[in-house]
Amino acid sequence: MNKQALQDTANRIGKYIHRTPVLSSTMLNEIAGASVYFKCENFQRMGAFKMRGAASAILNLSEVDQKKGVVTHSSGNFGQAVALAAKSLGVKAYIVMPSSAPAVKQAAVKAYGGVITISAPTLEAREAESQKIIDSTGATFLHPSNDLDVILGQGTAAMELLEEQAELDVLMTPVGGGGLVAGTALAGHFFGKKCVTIGGEPFEADDAYRSLISGKIETNETANTIADGLRTTLGDINFPIIQKYVDSIIRVEEEEIVAALRLIWERMKIVIEPSCAVPFAALLREKERFAGKRIGIIISGGNVDLGALPF
Amino acid sequence: MNKQALQDTANRIGKYIHRTPVLSSTMLNEIAGASVYFKCENFQRMGAFKMRGAASAILNLSEVDQKKGVVTHSSGNFGQAVALAAKSLGVKAYIVMPSSAPAVKQAAVKAYGGVITISAPTLEAREAESQKIIDSTGATFLHPSNDLDVILGQGTAAMELLEEQAELDVLMTPVGGGGLVAGTALAGHFFGKKCVTIGGEPFEADDAYRSLISGKIETNETANTIADGLRTTLGDINFPIIQKYVDSIIRVEEEEIVAALRLIWERMKIVIEPSCAVPFAALLREKERFAGKRIGIIISGGNVDLGALPF
């Protein structure tokens, strides 16, 4: 893992992704007591940072493997990201989606040219359907977070942020499967100046917090959080990176997530997913720790169901 | 009215406003069949283009008049804009607000340092309270739309847009009191290359559409539109400008406004007021007319009540 690997990834995926804007708000800075820079990956292609990792992973396949296609199972953003990145590269994408996935998400994958297979809504069924496709096509399976090329791709958002705000003291991201926080921590370590990376996680799905304490990958018995992107657990590839490069993880209550979400919608005028509000909620929860600092927050995505808002 | 007046206004207000970003979306361009550039005044200070006109009007007062303060009556964005612009300039702002104004809007004016007087919720009461303040303080009354300095200020948003997208064929804005569309049409005329300005208006409050036909300022008997910023009527200062420089006005149904609003929220990931969706709804309603053109749309503001969304 080195600086050059990140730089190569950024160069490789550059033309397949948007360079997203960095926004800030005087009002939110006053509320936070710090200078906060929001890296708006909700404006990324297909609406989330996952586009970066998907593009990175597909670009890293051999030409032979690209011809056979890629497969993933996802009910959310990673399926859309793989479909769109594959389309941009002329690669066939097979997306296994649980029958419980909203019609709108299926439509999005289809619009991006993905070949959808509907499975029963269990992990076993999704994995079995994926394996069937791999067996019959030779397609390469892409994991949304536990894959080094994906992790490096996700890290490019923080690299761009550090290019604009070189003096950041802290980078913050939500922690779900661990790809974003791991990639961000690498970017902060190699491209920041004494910049530490801190994750935000719901108390309701605090597997990563507990994993850092126990030293092994913990799971969640339940995950009743509005931050639906953060219900997943870490993997054996990203966990060692997180152990080495992430400073700490701050847990937040559900009400804190909703309050932070509302503040960002109201003050920043941007549509973001509940998961994105978790790091800002973490900042507000431990305000004194961040007083006067320069904080970069990765706003991970903006694909929300407007019919089901918590306001 | 000339090019220099607009340029002077832009120079004068420059340091008191944000230069807002211009966003576009591949998806929305596909849906519209045109290239659409959204000038995001929802990211403007206090969340709306009104900041431009308020700053312009206050900066244009003599030093003596600035010392006496300014007064306006408003239940919405202009009150906030005057309060914030006045605060930035060290000028006292008296804002008359109807007792029906939501607490959150009163709080915003107060946060910007405005001195609030609550009046009964009728136009007469608001005007009487304003007059009382003028009589006792000598403060200058600022009108939100029927004022040349305000109109020139509002036109600076389109000037900035044309600096980034010089080849626009069409500029579109919502039409409420007429200040934004008049200023935009001036900017399009003096700074565009054969760029026409078209207004969008709800059928439910189509006073401007009818005014252009009859040649005199028409009013609305009712104004049952979700586009609450567009319930007002034109004034004797902006109407002649609109007659001379605005190409036409397109009317839209309420369902079209809500559909356009949802598209912009979902695809652009930005929080905008219902009024802002009216020009995009007008574009979609008359798609063939705009096919293949380059369209600039002024997104007028983003101050919405998240507890009362139409989704």
Q: Point out the residue among B265, B272, B307 whose CB comes nearest to the CB of A306.
A: B265
Is A271 close to B271, i.e. CB distance below 8 A?
yes
For residue A104, the model assigns a pLDDT of 80
* Dihedral angle, C-alpha A265, A270, A273, A277, nearest 10 °: -50
Q: Which of B56, B75, B88, B130 is catalytic?
A: B75
Same domain, A290 and A166: yes
Please list the ranges in chain B whose pLDDT falls under 70.
none
pLDDT digit string, tens, across residues A125-138: 999 999 999 999 99
Judge whether A50 counts as a catalytic residue.
yes
Q: Coil, strand or helix: which one is A52?
A: helix
- How far apart CA A153 and CA A60 sit, in angstroms, is 11
Same domain, A11 and A112: no
Distance (Å) from the C-alpha of residue A45 to the closest C-alpha of chain B?
A: 9
What mean pLDDT, rounded, does chain A reach? 96
- How far apart CA A264 and CA B234 sit, in angstroms, is 34
Is B265 close to A271, i.e. CB distance below 8 A?
yes
Residues of B in contact with A43 (CB under 8 A): 23, 269
- Which of B269, B270, B273 to mutate: most A Cβ within 10 Å? B269
Q: Point out the residue among A26, A47, A307 whose CB comes nearest to the CB of B269.
A: A47
Q: How many CB pairs under 8 A join A and B?
A: 45
For residue A310, the model assigns a pLDDT of 84
Distance (Å) from the C-alpha of residue A105 to the closest C-alpha of chain B?
A: 12
Q: What are phi and psi of A103, to 5 degrees?
A: -55, -35
The tokens describing B57, both together, are 């009007």
Whether A89 has a pLDDT exceeding 90, the answer reads yes
From residue B194, give the alpha-carbon distance in Å to each of B38, B177, B191, B288.
Answer: 19, 25, 9, 19
Interface membership of A23 toward B (CB under 8 Å): yes
Is B271 close to A266, i.e. CB distance below 8 A?
yes
- How far apart CA B2 and CA B189 sit, in angstroms, is 10
B79 close to B48: Cβ distance less than 8 angstroms: no
pLDDT band at residue A101 under the 50/70/90 scheme: confident
Bridge partners, residue A196, by sequence: A170
Nearest CA in chain B to A24: B43
Residues of A numbered 28-47 whose beta carbons fall under 8 angstroms of chain B's beta carbons: which are they?
Answer: 40, 42-43, 47
Q: What are phi and psi of B55, to 5 degrees?
A: -65, -45
Same domain, B302 and B189: yes
Among the three residues B112, B141, B170, which one is the final residue of a domain in this structure?
A: B141
Beta strands in chain A (DSSP E): 22-23, 35-40, 70-73, 93-98, 115-119, 140-141, 170-174, 196-202, 246-252, 294-299
Same domain, A33 and A168: yes
Nearest CA in chain B to A307: B311
Q: Coil, strand or helix: which one is A132?
A: helix
Query: Looking at per-residue confidence, does B101 or A203 come out higher?
Result: A203
Same domain, A170 and A262: yes
Q: Which of A75, A119, A211, A275 is catalytic?
A: A75
Judge whether B75 counts as a catalytic residue.
yes
Residues of B numbered 263-302 whose beta carbons fall under 8 angstroms of chain A's beta carbons: which are they?
Answer: 265-266, 268-272, 302
Same domain, B134 and B184: no
Q: What is the pTM of this model?
A: 0.93
Same domain, A18 and A157: yes
Same domain, A199 and A265: yes
Same domain, A27 and A72: no
For residue B123, the model assigns a pLDDT of 86
Residues of B in contact with A17 (CB under 8 A): none
For residue A88, the model assigns a pLDDT of 96
For residue A15, the model assigns a pLDDT of 97
Q: Coil, strand or helix: which one is A113?
A: coil
Same domain, B151 and B136: no
Query: Looking at per-residue confidence, does B234 or A104 come out higher?
Result: B234
- How far apart CA A307 and CA A299 sit, in angstroms, is 21
Is B269 close to A269, i.e. CB distance below 8 A?
no
Residues of B in contact with A269 (CB under 8 A): 40, 42-43, 47, 270-272, 302
Mean pLDDT computed over A29-38: 98
Distance (Å) from the C-alpha of residue B124 to the closest C-alpha of chain A?
A: 32
The tokens describing A286, both together, are 């431990």
Interface membership of B25 toward A (CB under 8 Å): no
For residue A308, the model assigns a pLDDT of 82
Q: Which domain holds residue A79?
A: 51-141
Is A309 close to B311, i.e. CB distance below 8 A?
yes
A47 close to A77: Cβ distance less than 8 angstroms: yes
Same domain, B233 and B281: yes
CATH number for the domain spanning A83: value is 3.40.50.1100
Number of domains in chain A: 2
Among the three residues A90, A125, A141, which one is the final residue of a domain in this structure?
A: A141
Nearest CA in chain B to A26: B45
Angle between helices B179-191 and B238-245 (to 10 degrees): 40
Among the three residues A85, A108, A141, which one is the final residue of a domain in this structure?
A: A141
Same domain, A58 and A26: no
